[in-house]
């Protein structure tokens, strides 16, 4: 059977269905060693005294030995194969993940579409039903398990379609899917609609109404009877028109705890998203600042959530923009279990057309948020039914590196990218890593929205430039560019947002002299004549970044054309690069022209800016 092996080229066959994890580990080990053709033999064994997800690797002459806990044995096999493929020394001692829950959230809809999906349609929904190719799911499960990802939420947090009732009519299918993923150590999760009881004749979704709580208890009993290891429920409430406890004058702790109590007897987790803000804001209202919203809503509730509630917070206070400071909510809620949420789907970051490797982002976030401040990590998925799962073959690097950071938040982007490229494209790994993947985020930022400028994208689909696209909208997302200045003052003299940070961070951000350039216009409103640390004016820096970003894409394209990538990846990557080139030129010209028309300041180097 021909498979798309992504970063596991030595595993050519789809594993059989129905194996126990230990059998699967042995099967993968045997096949992997054969695929590597390295002349080594291997054995793997479960050691019931080891923690479930831990493993140890040893080598005795030509024999490799993997010992692990119930799931760790499989992780150990993948780690061994990876080390052998890369020619690396085996890690010493017992290896175990930093976070117990390493989650992938899919925004898949029952009709087969994926909200913000850029790699084809859903792998498990089509036409309002659960439909899937088991082999493809086994391949996906293998990719996830090979980097230690262990929770998969199947359906969109926007549970719009009442037919999308995974936990009701489709329970038998959910059970089947759980069985497919289980041997890989992957537990399923489902998004639920806070108002779901109202589809069943209950006139309210008030979390303090006993009829509501009883409905959820009954549902939970049915679900966990069928799928005893279901991880839990994911909920988006009171956010972007989703129902929630605010309708009934209840807090989010009251809403989350009601659901959490229904599933607690089965060990279920209630993952509650903290993506709450006013999406019906009047743009004339300059006192409401969207980044303040999550902190204002949740920090006062710290300590009120039940033990099985996990509050899932996006990495930044806005919404996965190319550059945001870390969310202050992550730093402040010491008495609540938190999950840090990333978005692998490249909604605002190139839509899996433009190259945008996220490992540097993961590093930067963990440099600001000490890993022990959060108890879990989650990421919005970037895969779908496309033949290569990821649309752009390099987008696979983002799932891979998310897994690496979820396992070990001390990971380094350079090593992670080199490992992915070394496994996937050994003949050009170094150039790909150093010249393309590692700088790709910075380059994207330069030609789109440098200096902390956010929301210059086209509304709705969010690809391509539109500097005024969100200026007079209700989403609370503005940069307020004018003839003289641009940016939002979020210091104490402005919206006050910076005060949500611990004192040292606040001081760093509040002073334009110490605020990092990349966040300058996120925290400050500055005149175009503002002189930056490197002596350039703000307006010149905006021009320079856009020119330089687009030039760097041209260079990247030249390098890409020389790489001996295998087909069909080469054709796909080159075709997408043509679109990225067009996108970068478009961004450069639109944004530079926009600021030139406002400011009337010419480019110091006389480069082409349109009138």
Catalytic positions, written as ranges: 240, 319, 347
Bin 127: left if φ > 0, else alpha if -120 < ψ < 50, else beta: left
**135 binds ligand GCV per the rule CB under 6 A:** no
E strand or H helix that includes residue 405: helix 396-407
Q: Smallest gap, in angstroms, from Cβ of residue 382 to ligand GCV?
A: 14
State which residue, 289 or 347, has the beta carbon closest to ligand GCV: 347
State which residue, 115 or 471, has the beta carbon closest to ligand GCV: 115
Q: Smallest gap, in angstroms, from Cβ of residue 105 to ligand GCV?
A: 9
Q: What share of the chain is helix, strand, coil (3-state, %, to 5)?
A: 40, 10, 45
State which residue, 139 or 341, has the beta carbon closest to ligand GCV: 341
Using CB under 6 A, pick the residue from 139, 319, 489, 544 that binds ligand GCV: 319
Q: Smallest gap, in angstroms, from Cβ of residue 539 to ligand GCV?
A: 30
Contacts of 277 (CB under 8 A, 6+ apart): 239, 290, 293, 294, 476
State which residue, 158 or 297, has the beta carbon closest to ligand GCV: 158
Q: How far apart are CA 196 and CA 219, in angstroms?
A: 11
State which residue, 236 or 261, has the beta carbon closest to ligand GCV: 236
Using CB under 6 A, pick the residue from 27, 125, 181, 275 that binds ligand GCV: 275
- Tally Cβ neighbours within 10 Å of residue 37: 8
CB distance 45 to 73 below 8 Å: yes
Residue with tokens 């540097």: 360
State which residue, 3 or 158, has the beta carbon closest to ligand GCV: 158
How many CA atoms does the CB half-sphere of 92 hold within 13 Å? 0
Using CB under 6 A, pick the residue from 96, 116, 441, 541 that binds ligand GCV: 116
Q: Smallest gap, in angstroms, from Cβ of residue 214 to ligand GCV?
A: 29
Using CB under 6 A as the binding rule, the residues of this chain from 327 to 366 that contact ligand GCV are 347
**236 binds ligand GCV per the rule CB under 6 A:** yes
CB distance 10 to 36 below 8 Å: yes
- Tally Cβ neighbours within 10 Å of residue 175: 14
Using CB under 6 A as the binding rule, the residues of this chain from 490 to 549 that contact ligand GCV are none
Q: DSSP letters along 259-282, please? A: HHHHHGGGT-EEEEE-----TT--
CB distance 43 to 64 below 8 Å: yes
Residue with tokens 């985020």: 441
Residue with tokens 């290896």: 95
Q: Smallest gap, in angstroms, from Cβ of residue 68 to ligand GCV?
A: 35
CA terminus-to-terminus distance, the chain: 57
Q: Smallest gap, in angstroms, from Cβ of residue 555 to ligand GCV?
A: 32
- Tally Cβ neighbours within 10 Å of residue 171: 17
Contacts of 21 (CB under 8 A, 6+ apart): 70, 71, 73, 74, 183, 184, 185
Q: Smallest gap, in angstroms, from Cβ of residue 158 to ligand GCV?
A: 5
Using CB under 6 A, pick the residue from 44, 106, 145, 157 that binds ligand GCV: 157
What is the crossing angle of helices 359-368 and 413-424, to 10°? Answer: 160
Using CB under 6 A, pick the residue from 3, 31, 113, 158 that binds ligand GCV: 158
Using CB under 6 A, pick the residue from 47, 115, 306, 412 that binds ligand GCV: 115
State which residue, 459 or 600, has the beta carbon closest to ligand GCV: 459
Using CB under 6 A, pick the residue from 4, 10, 75, 107 that binds ligand GCV: 107
State which residue, 477 or 537, has the beta carbon closest to ligand GCV: 477
From the number of C-beta atoms within 10 Å of its C-beta (0-12, 13-18, 19+), residue 269 rates as buried
Q: How far apart are CA 116 and CA 380, in angstroms?
A: 9
Count of residues in contact with ligand GCV, rule CB under 6 A: 9
Q: How far apart are CA 263 and CA 272, in angstroms?
A: 13
Phi, psi of 232 (to 5 degrees): 160, -160
Bin 464: left if φ > 0, else alpha if -120 < ψ < 50, else beta: left
Cis amide bond preceding 498, omega within 30: no
State which residue, 75 or 470, has the beta carbon closest to ligand GCV: 470
Q: Smallest gap, in angstroms, from Cβ of residue 246 to ligand GCV?
A: 16
**550 binds ligand GCV per the rule CB under 6 A:** no
Q: Smallest gap, in angstroms, from Cβ of residue 374 to ligand GCV?
A: 17
Give the residues lining the site for ligand GCV (CB under 6 A): 107, 115-116, 157-158, 236, 275, 319, 347
């Amino acid at each position: 059977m021909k498979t798309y092996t992504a970063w596991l080229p030595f595993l050519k066959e789809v594993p059989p269905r129905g194996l126990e994890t230990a059998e699967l580990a042995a099967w993968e080990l045997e096949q992997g060693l054969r695929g590597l053709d390295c002349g080594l033999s291997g054995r793997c064994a479960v050691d019931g005294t080891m923690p479930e997800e831990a493993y140890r690797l040893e080598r005795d002459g030509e024999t490799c030995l993997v010992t692990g806990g119930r799931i760790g044995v499989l992780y150990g096999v993948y780690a061994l194969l990876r080390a052998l493929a890369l020619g690396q020394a085996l890690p010493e001692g017992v290896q175990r993940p930093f976070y117990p829950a390493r989650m992938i959230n899919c925004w898949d809809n029952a009709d087969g579409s994926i909200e913000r999906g850029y790699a084809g349609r859903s792998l498990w929904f089509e036409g309002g039903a659960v439909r899937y190719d088991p082999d493809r799911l086994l391949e996906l499960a293998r990719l996830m398990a090979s980097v230690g990802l262990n929770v998969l939420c199947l359906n969109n947090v926007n549970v719009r379609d009442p037919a999308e009732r995974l936990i009701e009519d489709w329970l038998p299918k959910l059970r089947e899917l759980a069985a497919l993923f289980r041997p890989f150590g992957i537990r399923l999760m489902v998004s639920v609609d806070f108002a779901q009881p109202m589809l069943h004749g209950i006139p309210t979704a008030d979390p303090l109404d006993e009829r509501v709580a009883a409905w959820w208890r009954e549902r939970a009993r049915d679900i966990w009877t069928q799928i005893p290891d279901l991880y839990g429920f994911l909920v988006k409430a009171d956010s972007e028109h989703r129902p929630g406890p605010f309708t009934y004058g209840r807090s989010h702790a009251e809403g989350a705890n009601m659901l959490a109590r229904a599933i607690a007897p089965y060990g279920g987790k209630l993952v509650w998203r903290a993506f709450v803000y006013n999406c019906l804001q009047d743009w004339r209202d300059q006192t409401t600042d969207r980044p303040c919203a999550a902190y204002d809503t949740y920090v006062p509730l710290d300590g009120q959530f039940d033990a099985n509630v996990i509050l899932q917070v996006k990495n930044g206070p806005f919404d996965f923009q190319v550059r945001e400071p870390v969310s202050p909510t992550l730093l402040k809620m010491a008495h609540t279990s938190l999950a840090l949420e990333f978005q692998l789907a490249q909604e605002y970051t190139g839509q899996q057309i433009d190259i945008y490797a996220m490992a540097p982002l993961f590093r930067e976030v963990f440099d600001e948020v000490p890993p022990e401040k959060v108890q879990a990590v989650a990421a919005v998925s970037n895969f779908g039914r496309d033949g290569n799962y990821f649309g752009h073959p390099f987008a696979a690097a983002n799932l891979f590196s998310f897994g690496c950071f979820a396992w070990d938040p001390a990971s380094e982007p350079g090593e992670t990218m080199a490992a992915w490229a070394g496994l996937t494209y050994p003949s050009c790994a170094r150039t790909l890593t150093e010249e393309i993947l590692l700088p790709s985020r910075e380059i994207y930022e330069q030609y789109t929205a440098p200096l902390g400028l956010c929301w210059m994208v086209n509304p709705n689909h969010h690809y391509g430039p539109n500097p005024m696209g969100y200026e007079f909208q209700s989403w609370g997302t503005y940069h307020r560019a004018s003839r003289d200045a641009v940016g939002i003052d979020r210091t104490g003299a402005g919206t006050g947002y910076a005060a949500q940070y611990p004192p040292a961070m606040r001081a760093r951000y509040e002073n334009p002299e110490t605020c990092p350039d990349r966040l300058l216009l996120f925290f400050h409103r500055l005149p175009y004549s503002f002189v930056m640390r490197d002596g350039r004016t703000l307006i010149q820096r905006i021009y320079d970044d856009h020119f330089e970003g687009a030039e760097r894409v041209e260079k990247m394209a030249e390098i890409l054309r020389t790489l001996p990538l295998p087909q069909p990846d080469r054709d796909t990557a080159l075709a997408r690069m043509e679109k990225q080139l067009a996108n970068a030129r478009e961004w450069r010209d639109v944004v530079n022209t926009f600021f030139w028309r406002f400011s009337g300041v010419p480019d110091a180097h006389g480069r082409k800016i349109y009138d």
